[in-house]
Amino acid sequence: MKFHEDLFELLPKLSLAFGPTGCEKRVLDLIKTGLDGVCDCTFDAVGNLICRLPGEKGTSYAFISGVDEVGFMITKIDDKGYLRVESTSSGDPACFLGKKMVAGGDAQLFEGVGAAKVLHTLKGNERTDAPEFERLFIDLGFEKKEELENKIEVGDFAAFKGDYFEMPHDHIVGKALECRANCAILVTLLKLASKLKKEERNDLTVIFAVKEKIGFSGAVTALHRLAPDRAVLLGFEPSCDLDEKDADRKGALLGKGPVLPLKDGRALYYDDPVFFERAKNACGSQFTQILDGSQTLSSSRAHLVLAGVPMISLRLPCHNPETPYVIVNKTDIERTLSKVWSLAVFADDDGRR
Amino acid sequence: MKILKELMLVHGVSGRESRVADKIAEMMTPYVDSITRDALGNLICYKKGSAKNAKKLMLAGHMDEIGFIVTGVDDKGYIRVSSIGGIHYVSAAYSAVRFENGLRGVIVPEGDFNNNFSSSKFVIDIGAKSKKETERRVKVGDFASTVSHVEHLSGEYWAGRPFDDRIGCAIMVRAAMEMKDCKNDAYFVFTTQEEVGCRGSKTASFAVAPDFSLAFDVTGSGDGPKASPMAVSLGKGAAIKVKDSSVICDGGFVRFLDELAKEKKIPAQLEILEGGGTDTCSMQTAGCGSRATALSVPTRYIHSNNETISKKDYDACVALTAALLERDLGKERF
Amino acid sequence: MDYMKILDELRSVPTLSGFEDRGAEDVLKLLSPYFDESRRAGVNCLLFTKKCGKENAPKILIDAHLDELGLIVTDLKDDGLLTVSSLGGMDKRTLTASVFTVHAAKDLRAVSVKKPYLITKDKKLPKYGEFWLFTGLSKTELTDAGVRVGTPVSCQRSTEKLGEGQYYGAYMDDKSCAVAGLIAVDLLRDKPLECDVVLMLSSQEESFGAGFPTGAAAVCPDEILVVDVDLGSTPETDDKDTVKMGEGPSVTVSVQTDRRLTKDLLRIAREKEIPAQTALCVKSTGTNASSSPFLLGGVPTACIGLPLKYMHTTVETLYEKDLINTGKLIAAYIEYRFGGKGGAQQ
């Protein structure tokens, strides 16, 4: 399989950029700069990046990906300059200690480590229970609170520093890949679609949405304003091979994606059978259909926007979502790109407007 | 299986191994240069090596088995006991037991079983009518164990007790019989009190001060019904120990044995046992230390009345040990 | 002497608990230039001797353990994932989504994977058997690469600066103390001594302790200074359980260590104005010193600690000044006790 070079050149930059939920601007700026001269990009009132490529093939599509990574908000700075944090979404407290961290707001970023009290002082259940966030902290190497004045304050953010590297058989490991890979796919889609004439493509809007991790609020509000005919949500699906008992999610395997779920919790995608069938056909054959997506994509509220927006979701199989070392496969990324491309250009002429 | 069966049917709970030692001494005499016993009852059989500047190789298998010790007699004539070693209470309940002196009885939980895993809730019933009668036949400090037996299941599978660790002893005896040219100064040490803390091997190792050590014991397997995951299976050959809960074996020695097995086409597998200690660690840490590992026989249902093994693995251990004895460890590089 | 560079190089050699022999050659090559003799002894221990030149001279042993915590492969699954167990006591709070190196015929990078928190919302820490190592390779490829049951696995290695004067990375425990011993030997380079100084890098301190007694038996020392990292104070810790960071090495007061030796160390620190603290570990030091009461015919042993934050994680953090002062304290004691021309030795 041939891989789009520019997609995989952009991806490490997106992966390593600092963009925890609530502080996504740096990542969005990176995307906006990358789309200079390609299409019209603006920030909406809540910070989503909306990219427009008008088209006349018949249907208006909104392709959506979340941008934010799992992160923390700084709740306190103690006398010795240690930072106390709380997870902004569903952060795993067992994935904190020992991880390199980056902290800051809109200005300078500082590097440090995720820390907790030392192993030997853990008592009773502390040895087997995951810690509470209240017991965790970040060490930036300062010695006094005063040293942080005008540098970091309560309400600023922290996230994993992470890393990006390749592994055998086209696997890649990187921070926040579960959403940044989808962002890279959509950037590439815009670049490719911008080369077409207006008649050759549907009317496309790509929403790089903020706050995906807290209910996809960015997507919900953007859809409310844009009211497209159809929506395609790009998300992720944890690999099922770590648990033989998971019959429902059977099929989400790295290298065999993307995954097209029939429903996502309460969002029943197949309730618009015409679109769903056409979308499936447009997707060709190389994907895995599953019954129910794991509720990692907060799409149910997006589904109910306005009078309802017909939508499907394409999910990238991955290991370790929402950690500094998410594992995905390049083949799944390429296939997802070809599917969104097909949807962007196929004639959805059921007359539903 | 003849040697193994003979050894399994001798009574020898930890601390009372002399009968087993007598039997083994009888078997080993034609094949070694000297046989001695030490203060703890360890049986040390020495065979001088034929190589120049021969290295000291200590082989250890423990003679003792788990069992019970009489602590008293109750008013009804039932015998109160304490456990020696890690008793498998589910298996022991309602089993036939045999005392050192040949007396027979049944060991039972008092009242309903109720998962009471403690020797204080068990008594031995010898069918006496009164306390006086019992006291005429046993006294405090007598030793007993559940009855030994060996059954052939089918094919290569055998069940019985105590494979732990008479099979280790049998491997050593057969290896001594089969070796053609013992290159190293070999100390075949049949140790005591392993089940209560690897005690015999500590003193024996101090006295021998080996350069290389090899323990022989049973190990678990991952192929029993709903067994804890373990990469070891019955029938896949001699298990070469990488690590257990008391020792990390010498990496080079493990590799050497693995390659020797491949060379001689002896089936072998690598073993990590979570939960379980052996004489290996005593031999590794004696004095200035020795390069130690163990050859284990994969066993299901360890410490129960029906430990189950594959004869293939037993034979593989014998073959590998005999092959090792014929290698000059002073010359090998690992 | 660029001791931070030596510390980085020493920590780049994998010497996992029980598997120290694999790194022995490299460690010997790295450290022997600083000593008169070096050899292997006991169970996978390394001995480095600075001789004083006198016949039958007394010997003081500085012990720092060589071994590192890690994981060990227990099974190769059909889907290519590796099942692992612990080698020494790894902090379970650091096992989720971490990068490891599998030391097969060549080193392979691996990432730990488990069912995501997003779905399980598990309030417990992962147990061995509930997470696996992903290498991207198939079972056949792993076997061809030499991965077996028993293949050791280590954590990611690096050395990073934290703020001003602090350094962090995996395996500061206990190689930083080996470097402290090296600093001490360097400080004593031109001093006349009446004793041989032996730096022992002992094995298996984190696992079964086979190294210290067998290595010490090969030396038969007259006194032992066990140097190990100590629990540094951070938020959430109690003062009674920890020592302060940046305020010098700790000297452990315990029933397991020698009272006279301990008092001498504290007094020398005061006299030479070397910052030092007392660490109270009444019943047990939690180091190799704990097995010293039973050693050989009896060898007076003291325990010196290098304060370290976040012990047993990949971000173990020390203060450079504490490292230097630990070396200074060791050297000052040896000079006091065994210094030539009027030293205090009996």
Domain match, B6 and B153 both: yes
Given this model, what pLDDT does residue A295 score? 64
Contact state of B243 with C150 under an 8 Å Cβ cutoff:
yes
Given this model, what pLDDT does residue A303 score? 67
Report how far residue C304's alpha carbon sits from residue C318's, in angstroms, rounded to the nearest whole number.
15
Contact state of B288 with C74 under an 8 Å Cβ cutoff:
no
Domain match, B256 and B228 both: yes
Q: How far out from the chain centre does Cα A307 lie? A: 26
Given this model, what pLDDT does residue A275 score? 76
B197 DSSP assignment: T
Given this model, what pLDDT does residue A308 score? 73
Residue C317 sits at the chain A interface (C-beta within 8 Å): yes
Per the CB < 8 A criterion, the answer to whether C21 and C44 are in contact is yes
Per the CB < 8 A criterion, the answer to whether B277 and B245 are in contact is yes
Return the bridge partners of A55, or none.
Answer: none
Given this model, what pLDDT does residue A265 score? 67
State the residue range of the domain holding B103. 67-146
What is the topology classification, in CATH, of domain A71-160? Elongation Factor Tu (Ef-tu); domain 3 (2.40.30)
B153 is written with which tokens?
């299941």
Residue B231 sits at the chain C interface (C-beta within 8 Å): yes
Measured CA distances, B190 to B59, B146, C290 (Å): 8, 22, 31
Contact state of C234 with A139 under an 8 Å Cβ cutoff:
yes
pLDDT one-digit tens code per residue, B44-72: 999 999 999 999 999 999 999 999 999 99
Residue B330 lies in a domain: no
Q: How far out from the chain centre does Cα B1 lie? A: 16
Q: Looking at A296-305, B72-81, B301-310, B311-320, which range is the least confident one?
A: A296-305
Report how far residue B308's alpha carbon sits from residue B295's, in angstroms, rounded to the nearest whole number.
17
Write down the catalytic residue from B194, B195, B271, B307.
B194
Residue C144 sits at the chain A interface (C-beta within 8 Å): no
Contact state of C232 with A116 under an 8 Å Cβ cutoff:
no
Given this model, what pLDDT does residue A288 score? 75
**Chains contacting C (3 or more CB pairs within 8 Å):** A, B
Mutate to test the interface with B, among C15, C43, C294 (most CBs of B within 10 A): C43
Q: What phi and psi values does residue B314 have, to the nearest 5 degrees?
A: -60, -50
Domain match, B76 and B192 both: no
Place of tokens 């990006």: A164
Place of tokens 């290498």: C135
Domain match, B129 and B198 both: no
Residue B301 has pLDDT above 50, yes or no: yes
Grade residue A248 by pLDDT with cuts at 50, 70 and 90: low
* E strand or H helix at B145: strand B143-146
Residue B332 lies in a domain: no
3-state secondary structure of B58: strand
Domain match, B260 and B282 both: yes
**Touching pair B, C by Cβ (3+ pairs < 8 Å):** yes
Given this model, what pLDDT does residue A352 score? 43
Torsion of CA B320, B318, B327, B221, to 10 degrees: 40
Tell me whether the CATH fold assigned to A5-69+175-345 matches the one assigned to A71-160: no
A342 is written with which tokens?
């097909």
Q: How close is the nearest chain A Cα to the Cα of C10, in Å? A: 21
Domain match, B106 and B231 both: no
Given this model, what pLDDT does residue A224 score? 86
Given this model, what pLDDT does residue A267 score? 67
Q: How close is the nearest chain A Cα to the Cα of C100, in Å? A: 12
Residues of chain C with CATH 3.40.630.10: 3-68+171-338
Per the CB < 8 A criterion, the answer to whether B195 and B85 are in contact is yes
Mean pLDDT of chain B: 95
Q: Which residues of B206-220 are buried (b: 16+ CB within 10 A; e: fewer)?
A: ebbebbbbbbbbbbb
**What is the SS3 string spanning chain A?**
CCCCHHHHHHHHHHHHCCCECCCCHHHHHHHHHHCCCCCEEEECCCCCEEEEECCCCCCEEEEEEECCECEEEEEEECCCCCEEEEECCCCCCCCCCCCEEEEECCCCEEEEEEECCCHHHCCHHHHCECCCHHHCEEECCCCCHHHHCCCCCCCCEEEECCCEEEECCCEEEECCHHHHHHHHHHHHHHHHHCCCCHHHCCEEEEEEECCHHHCCHHHHHHHHHHCCCEEEEEEEEECHHHCCCCCCCCCCCCCCCCEEEEEECCEEHHHCHHHHHHHHHHCCCCCEEEEECCCCCCCHHHHCCCCCCCEEEEEEEEECCCCCCEEEEHHHHHHHHHHHHHHHHCCCCCCCC
Q: What is the ipTM of this complex?
A: 0.94
Report how far residue B119's alpha carbon sits from residue B122's, in angstroms, rounded to the nearest whole number.
5
A236: left (phi over 0), alpha (psi -120 to 50) or beta: beta
A18 is written with which tokens?
């600092």
ω into C33 cis (within 30 of 0): no
The partner residue sitting opposite A97, judged by closest CB among C91, C121, C242, is: C91
Domain match, B37 and B100 both: no
Contact state of B251 with C21 under an 8 Å Cβ cutoff:
yes
C310 is written with which tokens?
């976040």
pLDDT one-digit tens code per residue, B263-292: 999 999 999 998 888 999 999 999 999 999
Residue C164 sits at the chain A interface (C-beta within 8 Å): yes
Place of tokens 């991965």: C147
Question: Which residues in chain B have Cβ-Cβ distances shorter than 8 Å to C47?
Answer: none
Whether CATH 3.30.930.10 fits C70-155:
no
Contact state of A130 with C125 under an 8 Å Cβ cutoff:
yes
Contact state of A98 with C311 under an 8 Å Cβ cutoff:
no
Question: C-alpha angle B65/B186/B172, rounded to 5°?
Answer: 35
pLDDT one-digit tens code per residue, A79-117: 999 999 999 988 899 999 999 999 999 889 999 999 999
Domain match, B239 and B126 both: no
Domain match, B184 and B197 both: yes
pLDDT by 10s per residue, chain C, length 346 = 999 999 999 999 999 999 999 999 999 999 999 999 999 999 999 999 999 999 999 999 999 999 999 999 999 999 999 999 999 989 999 999 999 999 999 999 999 999 999 888 999 999 999 999 999 999 999 999 999 999 999 999 999 999 999 999 999 999 999 999 999 999 999 999 999 999 999 999 999 999 999 999 999 999 999 999 999 999 999 999 999 999 999 999 999 999 999 999 999 999 999 999 999 999 999 999 999 999 999 999 999 999 999 999 999 999 999 999 999 999 999 999 998 764 454 4
Return the bridge partners of A83, or none.
Answer: A77, A138
pLDDT one-digit tens code per residue, B191-212: 999 999 999 999 999 999 999 9
Domain match, B86 and B168 both: no
Residue of A nearest to C80 (CA): A241
What CATH number is associated with residue B224? 3.40.630.10
Contact state of A139 with C232 under an 8 Å Cβ cutoff:
no
Residue B259 has pLDDT above 60, yes or no: yes
Report how far residue B214's alpha carbon sits from residue B59's, in angstroms, rounded to the nearest whole number.
5
Measured CA distances, A122 to A80, C71, C95, C240 (Å): 22, 21, 16, 14
Task: Give yes or no: B271 in active site.
Answer: no
Instruction: Give me the total of CB pairs closer than 8 Å, taking one residue from chain B and one from chain C.
Output: 77
Q: What phi and psi values does residue B197 have, to the nearest 5 degrees?
A: 125, 25
Per the CB < 8 A criterion, the answer to whether C290 and C304 are in contact is no
B63 is written with which tokens?
């003679």
Mutate to test the interface with A, among C79, C81, C113 (most CBs of A within 10 A): C113
**Touching pair A, B by Cβ (3+ pairs < 8 Å):** no
Q: What share of chain C is helix, strand, coil (3-state, %, to 5)?
A: 30, 30, 40
Mutate to test the interface with C, among B259, B288, B290, B296 (most CBs of C within 10 A): B288
Q: What phi and psi values does residue C90 have, to the nearest 5 degrees?
A: -70, 150
Question: Which residues in chain A have Cβ-Cβ distances shorter than 8 Å to C109?
Answer: 165, 167
Report how far residue B107's alpha carbon sits from residue B94's, in angstroms, rounded to the nearest whole number.
5
Q: Looking at A335-339, A344-348, B94-98, B158-162, which range is the least confident one?
A: A344-348
Place of tokens 């190589």: B51
Given this model, what pLDDT does residue C280 score? 94
Residues of chain C with CATH 2.40.30.40: 70-155
Whether CATH 1.10.150.20 fits A5-69+175-345:
no
C327: left (phi over 0), alpha (psi -120 to 50) or beta: alpha
DSSP E strands, chain C: 37-41, 45-50, 59-65, 70-76, 82-87, 99-103, 107-113, 132-134, 152-155, 160-162, 166-169, 196-202, 223-231, 250-253, 277-280, 301-308, 316-319
Domain match, B159 and B13 both: yes
Question: Which residues in chain C have Cβ-Cβ distances shorter than 8 Å to B284?
Answer: 43, 210, 214
Sheet architecture: strand order including B268-272: B34-37, B43-47, B185-191, B56-62, B212-219, B291-298, B238-243, B268-272
A273 is written with which tokens?
């059978």
Q: Looking at A32-36, A56-60, C266-270, which range is the least confident one?
A: A56-60
Domain match, B166 and B178 both: yes
Residue of A nearest to C309 (CA): A118
Per the CB < 8 A criterion, the answer to whether B212 and B59 are in contact is no
Mutate to test the interface with C, among A320, A327, A328, A329 (most CBs of C within 10 A): A320
DSSP E strands, B196-279: 212-219, 238-243, 268-272
Instruction: Name which of B58, B92, B67, B5 is nearest B193 in CA terms.
Output: B67
What is the topology classification, in CATH, of domain C3-68+171-338? Aminopeptidase (3.40.630)
Q: Domain extents for chain A?
A: 5-69+175-345, 71-160
Average pLDDT estimate for A21-33: 96
Q: What phi and psi values does residue B87 have, to the nearest 5 degrees?
A: -75, 140
Given this model, what pLDDT does residue A353 score? 36
Contact state of C97 with A324 under an 8 Å Cβ cutoff:
yes
Residue of C nearest to A95 (CA): C96
Given this model, what pLDDT does residue A351 score? 40
Average pLDDT estimate for A140-152: 94
Amino acid present at B233 = S
Given this model, what pLDDT does residue A266 score? 67
**Tally of domains in chain B:** 2
**Chains contacting A (3 or more CB pairs within 8 Å):** C
Q: Which residues of C303-312 are buried (b: 16+ CB within 10 A; e: fewer)?
A: bbbbbbbbbb
